[in-house]
Amino acid sequence: MGEADEPGGPLRVALLSYRSKPHCGGQGVYLRHLSRELIDLGHTVEVLSGQPYPELDRDEITLTKIPSLDLYRDEDPFRTPAREEFRDWIDVLEFAHMKTGGFPEPLTFSLRALRELKRRRRDFDVVHDNQVLGLGNLGIPRLGLPLVTSIHHPISVDRRIELEAAQGVKQKLGKRRWYGFVAMQSQVSRRIGPVLTVSESSKVDIVKDFRVDPRDIEILPLGVDTRIFHPRGERVPGRIVAMASADAPIKGVDVLLRAVAKVATERDVHVIVVSRPQKDGPTEKLVRDLALGDRVRFVSGISDDELGELMASAEIAVVPSRYEGFSLPAVEHMASGTPLVASRAGALPEVVGDAGVLVQPGDVEELAATLRLLHDSAEERARVGAAGLARVQERFAWPAVAKATVEHYRAAIREHGYLRLAAAKRARRG
């Protein structure tokens, strides 16, 4: 380990993430694995994060907590903080924004992070933004700090799908207000310099929705931790496993549940979804309406090893999303040797290739027919599972992702240096 032989030597990296769920949600998983691999390459890494805070894999990684008011905590969402919890004007802004139906965290985290970086600008060589894209980010280069930004996919896609699923004028207006931060992210993304994204599909969407110059965008796929996600022997007959980072239409859990309900009338199958559905929300209501009973189970808050065991215990894995900018779960399922069924949506065809079975997003009948086919054929399950495992071993590895990311850091540092020299030259001439 280490980079003693690498030109330029070790870097001091600040990684920004406004929320960092460690086990589900691409931002938290990305942060966790990238920070570990950067440390193993010999760099110094400090993570600046809001709640939920990340789990980090190396003691050498510093976690600096940038606390919000935590208005969306699972056990008390949309809460009203006590008066003594308000520390400054940013807290007041955050609460007021939430009370008027908006989602303030990208903006308010970026303002808090800028304040922290301003105080400690000499502690870092480069700042890496993990899809915050708040207005405060525009001040980071002015501090003399080069900035690299990751956009896993533009949240405008989520907004579009949520609006299509919304019922009634009131719900549509509510969704528009909630996703109001997307206009800010679009504006910021056009002004912050180099952008890393995870797939050709995401690049196309960033150019189309955020109008970022395609010359500013580099594609760098994500990796998988094969220490956790790998084949583990016997599988549970009839078990289907899926992961959903959010209880939202974009993840397609409703499509999966409807398909399983059809298959369960004639096959002995059950599904485990790694997710926390909204209490009395649309997913729980759908489970009741479909009378799935003990055919479906939701799990959350499990350890890495428990998650790896669960994914490797399935006979079939499903990613039923209506859109994905990359989909780490798809890669993790394939790394587990589990035959994967995925939607033909977003970057999933690009990620899965011919190593899984692709179905039309939202098509319950096609998904149900594919589940029946795989359930009934051990040979087909073995073939698809082996193809997925081989694809992961060839294409997706976190050490390679980290090394390529460091090259983008160094390029941003060089570019920042050229810009400063040019500005100084102009000032002397003036």
Shared domain for 159 and 213, answered yes or no, is yes
**Is 232 domain-assigned?**
no
Please, which pLDDT band fits residue 429 given cuts at 50, 70 and 90? confident
**Is 134 domain-assigned?**
yes
Q: Which of 317, 214, 336, 215 is nearest to 274 (CA)?
A: 317
Shared domain for 379 and 403, answered yes or no, is no
Shared domain for 202 and 303, answered yes or no, is no
Q: How far apart are CA 48 and CA 18, in angstroms?
A: 8
Burial of 233 (0-12, 13-18, 19+ CB in 10 A): exposed
**Is 414 domain-assigned?**
yes
Shared domain for 330 and 413, answered yes or no, is no
For the chain, the domain total comes to: 2
Q: What is the pLDDT of residues 331-352, one digit of tens each?
A: 999 999 999 999 999 999 999 9
Q: Return the pLDDT at 25.
A: 60
Q: Return the pLDDT at 418.
A: 74
Shared domain for 302 and 319, answered yes or no, is yes
Q: What is the pLDDT of residues 228-263, one digit of tens each?
A: 999 998 999 999 999 987 788 899 999 999 999 999
Q: Is residue 163 a contact partner of residue 172, using CB atoms and an 8 Å limit?
A: yes
Q: What is the pLDDT of residues 149-195, one digit of tens each?
A: 999 999 999 999 999 989 899 999 999 999 999 999 999 999 999 99
Look over the chain and give the mean of its residue pLDDT values, rounded to a whole number. Answer: 93
Q: How far apart are CA 173 and CA 192, in angstroms?
A: 30
Mean pLDDT of 270-299: 93
Q: By residue range, what is the domain housing residue 110?
A: 12-223+398-429
Q: How far apart are CA 296 and CA 310, in angstroms?
A: 14
Kindly tell me if the per-residue pLDDT of 4 is higher than 50: no
Write the CATH number for 193: 3.40.50.2000
Kindly tell me if the per-residue pLDDT of 210 is higher than 90: yes
**Is 234 domain-assigned?**
no
Shared domain for 391 and 402, answered yes or no, is no
**What is the separation of C-alpha 211 from the centre of its chain, rounded to a whole number of angstroms?**
21
Shared domain for 329 and 197, answered yes or no, is no
**Is 6 domain-assigned?**
no
Shared domain for 78 and 213, answered yes or no, is yes
Kindly tell me if the per-residue pLDDT of 46 is higher than 50: yes
Shared domain for 215 and 288, answered yes or no, is no
Q: Is residue 315 a contact partner of residue 375, using CB atoms and an 8 Å limit?
A: yes
Shared domain for 193 and 309, answered yes or no, is no
**Is 94 domain-assigned?**
yes
| Total-model pTM | 0.84
Shared domain for 373 and 423, answered yes or no, is no
Shared domain for 57 and 86, answered yes or no, is yes
**Is 5 domain-assigned?**
no
Please, which pLDDT band fits residue 23 given cuts at 50, 70 and 90? low
Highest mean pLDDT among 168-172, 223-227, 299-303, 336-340: 336-340
Q: Return the pLDDT at 141.
A: 95
**Is 230 domain-assigned?**
no
Q: Is residue 335 a contact partner of residue 389, using CB atoms and an 8 Å limit?
A: yes
Three-state DSSP state, 195: strand
